[in-house]
Amino acid sequence: MNKIFLFFFSLSYVTLSAVTHNIPADFDFIQDGIAAAATGDTVLIHPGIYQECIDFGGKQITVASLFHLTQDEVYIPLTVIQADSDQVSVNFSTLEDSLSFLIGLTLTAGNGAVMCNSASPTLMHLIIHNNSSSGHGGGIYCEDANPILQNLSINFNSSAGKGGGIYLLNSQPVMQNITLLNNISNDEGGGIYLENSNLSADSLF
């Protein structure tokens, strides 16, 4: 009996210890919310255009729009990270794993939208459009990375190098329900370019 009581107490403690950081109510900038977040926390972004670039910094956290709570897709195009054209919109380069979640946002105007460099986060329900990389991977760049990619619209992105939509180097992402439309590469692979990589794909079109 005592063991059962202690188990449920421990589970309740873990659940209650997670914190939600609301943007912009608690912090003006998403990156400030990420800086304040601890493992298991959520940085919840309310509708608006956020002119910044973000870096998860290796944290196992969730960064998401109100879609994450409501499952209402209306919040995805209403919650926008509009990046500096000289920088990638969202950076995963500190060994992030599948417990680092990016959910329900629109990413635009970046020098590439998502960078996964030796990191394997979970990306879900994103609109990735109108990004232009000066290198490879206008939409998503993966190197030594195995991210989970689900329900992504990757449209109207471009790269000076390979992979206008997605560039994969030494990577094996798990992909489900990915739409690629009107992505352009100045080299090879307007939609996807694979270099020493494999796809585990379902409903890729």
Do 171 and 144 touch, CB atoms closer than 8 A?
Answer: yes
pLDDT of residue 200: 74
DSSP structure string for 36-89: H--TT-EEEEPSEEE---EE-TT---EEEETHHHH--TTHHHHEEEE--TTS-S
pLDDT of residue 3: 37
pLDDT of residue 202: 66
Do 88 and 114 touch, CB atoms closer than 8 A?
Answer: yes
pLDDT of residue 17: 80
pLDDT of residue 94: 96
Give the residues of the chain that fall short of pLDDT 70.
Answer: 1-16, 201-205
pLDDT of residue 85: 81
pLDDT of residue 84: 83
pLDDT of residue 78: 98
